């Protein structure tokens, strides 16, 4: 039996990338930056967003899109800080799909200035799906172990910023901070690293400044 | 786990290509996919998902063939170029950060059909 070969050169994730591109165009029209916060469950992503609400108050009016497999607890936590928050419940889904984010954006108040997305807690899947963000922000806590960047390089490699959370706990842990910094640099030598504590406020001002810089970059 | 979601996208694209080209059910024999090492896809998980997601579609019974190009990098400082082993993305010669030149691909290369 003879065979025919059809050469195509089409992205495997073509459908998802189209959604992400549409989102990028939508955000560009509004001059909104959108940050995709990705980290393990319990890395302190929601606490970080809660703390950023305080630091960015009066500087960037942002909305939050929360992704979780179940419950609207995170959206409720963020909303309690006076932030407009939308919860996407993904069910079995291990990441936020670009289409779901695009749909959620349409419901946000028009007077906003940017969006912070908290992706489903997971170091692997969310890194593989572009949602149209301005930048990915990789969130790693000091309670997770210093070698995580080496074990999950895709996320840390793609991130535009690296955030090390819960640094107030360092005195209580056997966490090799220098080894962690080294591991992050081995995977990503260019992204800025912010060592922060949502509890004490340490490092948050620098992170907030970086987020604002990206906004200015999107405004041309 | 992300193999299933990625595979859903892949199957959507394959079915779209078959529909656009008016290729009837059962003619697709093989799909050749290039997925660079950067994507860390587990071939068994991907082929398992592919079989599952193509069931009762015009692509049912076709095989997924995966090619995994290794990571290739170029140093932005000293110009060194060569293969790197994940997860270290640093220049072998000078230790500076490298730019990926290969291993980040993720595309469908070819559809193989039986002639009618």
Question: Mean pLDDT across chain A, nearest whole number?
Answer: 95
Residue A1, pLDDT above cutoff 70: no
> Which chain B residues touch A14 with a CB distance below 8 Å?
9, 12-13, 16
Question: Mean pLDDT across chain B, nearest whole number?
Answer: 94
Non-local CB neighbours of B99 within 8 Å, separated by 6+ positions: B73, B74, B75, B76
Q: Give me the pLDDT at residue B86, please.
A: 83
In this complex, how many residue pairs, one in chain A and one in chain B, have their CB atoms less than 8 Å apart? 109
Non-local CB neighbours of A69 within 8 Å, separated by 6+ positions: A89, A90, A91, A92, A93, A94, A120
Residue that the structure tokens 């190009």 belong to: B69
Token duo for residue A200: 């004490």
Query: Are β-strands B81-83 and B72-75 bridged in parallel, bridged antiparallel, or unpaired?
Result: antiparallel
Q: Which of residues 26-65 of B touch A (CB under 8 A)?
A: 29, 33, 35, 38-40
Residue A159, pLDDT above cutoff 80: yes
Measured between CA atoms, the residue of chain B closest to residue A125 is B2
ipTM: 0.92
Query: Which residue ranges in chain B fall short of pLDDT 70?
Result: 1, 116
Q: What mean pLDDT do residues A200-216 have? A: 96
Tell me: the pLDDT tens digits for A75-131?
A: 999 999 999 999 999 998 899 999 999 999 998 999 999 999 999 999 999 999 999
CA atoms in the 13 A half-sphere facing the CB of B29: 11
Q: What mean pLDDT do residues A44-61 have? A: 96
Q: Give me the pLDDT at residue B38, please.
A: 92
Residue A201, pLDDT above cutoff 90: yes
Residue A60, pLDDT above cutoff 70: yes
Residue A67, pLDDT above cutoff 60: yes
Measured between CA atoms, the residue of chain A closest to residue B35 is A12
């Amino acid at each position: 039996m003879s065979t025919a070969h059809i050469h195509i050169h089409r992205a495997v994730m073509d459908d998802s990338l189209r959604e992400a591109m549409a989102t990028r165009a939508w955000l560009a029209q509004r001059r909104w930056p959108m940050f995709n916060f990705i980290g393990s469950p319990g890395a302190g992503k929601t606490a970080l967003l809660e703390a950023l609400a305080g630091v960015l108050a009066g500087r960037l009016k942002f909305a939050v899109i929360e992704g979780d497999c179940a419950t609207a607890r995170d959206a409720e936590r963020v909303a309690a800080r006076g932030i407009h928050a939308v919860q996407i419940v993904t069910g079995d889904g291990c990441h936020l799909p670009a289409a779901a984010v695009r749909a959620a954006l349409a419901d946000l108040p028009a007077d906003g200035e940017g969006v912070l997305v908290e992706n489903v807690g997971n170091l692997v899947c969310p890194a593989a799906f572009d949602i149209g963000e301005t930048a990915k922000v990789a969130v790693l806590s000091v309670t997770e172990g210093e070698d995580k960047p080496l074990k999950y390089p895709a996320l840390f490699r793609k991130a535009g910023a690296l955030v090390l959370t819960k640094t107030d706990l360092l005195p209580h842990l056997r966490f090799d901070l220098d080894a962690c910094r080294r591991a992050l640099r081995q995977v990503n030598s260019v992204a800025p690293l912010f060592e922060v504590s949502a509890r004490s406020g340490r490092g948050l001002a620098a992170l907030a400044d970086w987020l604002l810089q990206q906004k200015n970059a999107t405004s041309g | 786990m992300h193999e299933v979601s990625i595979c859903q996208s892949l199957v959507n694209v394959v079915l779209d290509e078959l529909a656009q080209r008016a290729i009837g059910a059962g003619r697709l024999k093989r799909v050749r996919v290039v997925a660079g090492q950067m994507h860390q896809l587990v071939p068994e998980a991907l082929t398992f998902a592919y079989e599952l997601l193509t069931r009762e579609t015009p692509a049912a019974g076709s095989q997924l063939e995966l090619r995994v190009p290794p990571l290739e990098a170029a140093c932005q400082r000293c110009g060194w170029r060569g293969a790197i082993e994940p997860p270290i993305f640093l220049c072998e010669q000078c230790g500076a950060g490298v730019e990926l030149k290969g291993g980040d691909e993720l595309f469908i290369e070819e559809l193989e059909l039986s002639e009618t």
